[in-house]
Amino acid sequence: MYMNLVHWKKDEIFRAILASVGVVGIVLAAATVPNAALFLKPLVSKKSSKSIRQRSLEESLRRLMRQRITEFVVQNGKTFLRVTEKGRKRMKRFEFAEMRLDIPRAWRGIWTVILFDIPEYQKTARDALRRKLKELGCFQYHRSVFVHPSSCEDDIDFVVEFFQVSRFVIRFETNSLGNQEYRARRFFGLK
């Protein structure tokens, strides 16, 4: 239990650092590079910064640098702390894990339909896609057909690309799901 809590805490700190550095980037004076964590503390979310100790932040920043997830770069006499390509991939995994699709308050009567026919040799990706669509809140209309009442093209495209199965997936919008639409309406609580 303790190890899981420690691992979760490290992930939370990593996410806070990557989000802060990845979004705004940080310019540091050369003399302050060893104390870069001091500059990060105010940038992490208020909720996180209360629970993150300065020492934890410093240790996490060093670990991210050792893992080549963040790096210091000097350009035009200024030192920047930035996220590397490896770090951007890690950020995408964090985003992927936290994704959720919201049900619109005022539904416009349009369904997003996700169809897939992923071959048996990619069964692992097929099963993972099916699990992720359920996690996102999509309704499993049939074995390889999911629906959602929001316009979620970008989110679905991101998930499909993550699993590298885009050539096997079709996504479209429609205003009718046929004579079984009542099942989806009931699932989402729509009239």
Q: What angle do CA 47, 51, 55 make, to 5 degrees?
A: 130
Say how far apart CA 27 and CA 78 lie, in whole Å.
7
With a cut of 60, say whether residue 31 has pLDDT above it.
Answer: no
78-117 pLDDT tens trace: 777 777 887 777 777 777 777 888 888 889 999 999 999 9
With a cut of 90, say whether residue 174 has pLDDT above it.
Answer: yes
Topology alike, domains 2-98 and 111-188:
no
Instruction: With cut-offs at 50, 70 and 90, classify the pLDDT of residue 145.
Output: very high
Which two structure tokens, joined as six digits, stand for 125? Answer: 């990706």
Q: Which residues, listed in sequence order, are joined to residue 139 by a DSSP beta bridge? A: 147
Global confidence as pTM: 0.60
3-state SS, 10-75, equals HHHHHHHHHHHHHHHCEEECHHHHHHHHHHHCCCCCHHHHHHCCHHHHHHHHHHHHHCCCEEEEEE
Residue, of 85 and 163, whose pLDDT is higher: 163
Residue, of 23 and 128, whose pLDDT is higher: 128
User: What pLDDT does 162 receive?
Assistant: 86
Mean pLDDT for the chain overall = 76
For the domain 111-188, what is the CATH code? 3.30.70.240
CATH architecture of the region 2-98: Orthogonal Bundle (1.10)
Domain boundaries, the chain: 2-98, 111-188
Say how far apart CA 92 and CA 10 lie, in whole Å.
17
